[in-house]
């Protein structure tokens, strides 16, 4: 199997398994998505989804969150971990959005990455999932699968992102990054990975690529 054939096989398999790719983080708009993604750092999506309903009852828009008590924010998001830093960033981001962007989340990588606690991966998630801009957010799970499948030898997520963007058509990026996340959770975990139960790894192994 040549690399081009392998890429097509991977994409075809993911399309068959995950024709629909709902966004795993519960949100109402670009602002609530941004907050949820910030909370997801070193935390599972499932846990974030148990915390955000209470947080968004407290404040579901930038202007309200900007005025909220930071200690109250911290107590609500405590189960997500890193609550002192995350609460500080959420409040600071909300203040910036309120005063600089009329409460709206800017649809710009540059503007998003300038916000406190927002890195390239978070900005990529918001740009792709909130605004539909082609992006390929790479977390540790996608980084791991890209290496396992021989799509990238990147030592970091930045290089893996570049390699995946070269491998797959731009039109597929937004859907594909979610498909890989779903596949990794269901078939290709970091631990207790069973080759014969993994539709992609087993086929790649069988064909000796």
Q: Which residues of 45-72 are buried (b: 16+ CB within 10 A; e: fewer)?
A: beebbebbeebbeebbbbeebbebeeee
Q: Which residues of 82-121 are buried (b: 16+ CB within 10 A; e: fewer)?
A: bbeebbebbbebbbbbbeeeebebbeeeebbeebeebebb
Phi, psi of 74 (to 5 degrees): -60, -40
Query: Comparing C-alpha atoms, which of 148, 166, 128 is closest to residue 25?
Result: 128
Dist. CA 141–CA 4, nearest whole Å: 22
Dist. CA 103–CA 181, nearest whole Å: 31
Is residue 153 flagged as an active site residue?
A: no
Which of 15, 121, 155, 166 is an active site residue?
121
Task: Give me 193's structure tokens.
Answer: 């990975």
Is residue 139 flagged as an active site residue?
A: yes
Residue with tokens 């997500």: 80
∠29-79-34 over CA atoms, to 5°? 20
Which of 139, 162, 165, 175 is an active site residue?
139
Please give the positions annotated as active site: 121, 139
């Amino acid at each position: 199997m040549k690399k081009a054939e392998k890429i097509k096989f991977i994409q075809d398999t993911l399309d068959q398994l995950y024709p629909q790719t709902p966004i795993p983080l519960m949100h109402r708009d670009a602002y609530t998505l941004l907050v949820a993604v910030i909370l997801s750092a070193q935390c599972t999506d499932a846990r974030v989804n148990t915390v955000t309903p209470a947080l968004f009852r407290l404040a579901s828009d930038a202007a309200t969150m900007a005025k909220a008590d930071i200690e109250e924010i911290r107590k609500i998001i405590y189960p997500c971990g890193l609550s002192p830093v995350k609460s500080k960033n959420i409040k600071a981001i909300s203040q910036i959005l309120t005063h600089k962007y009329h409460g709206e989340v800017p649809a710009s990588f540059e503007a998003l990455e300038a916000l406190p606690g927002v890195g390239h991966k978070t900005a990529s998630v918001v740009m792709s999932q909130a605004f539909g801009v082609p992006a390929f957010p790479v977390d540790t799970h996608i980084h791991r699968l890209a290496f396992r499948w021989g799509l990238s030898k990147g030592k970091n997520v930045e290089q893996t992102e570049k390699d995946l963007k070269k491998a797959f058509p731009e039109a597929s990026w937004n859907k594909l990054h979610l498909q890989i996340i779903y596949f990794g959770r269901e078939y290709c975990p970091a631990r207790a990975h069973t080759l014969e139960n993994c539709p992609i790894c087993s086929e790649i192994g069988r064909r000796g690529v």
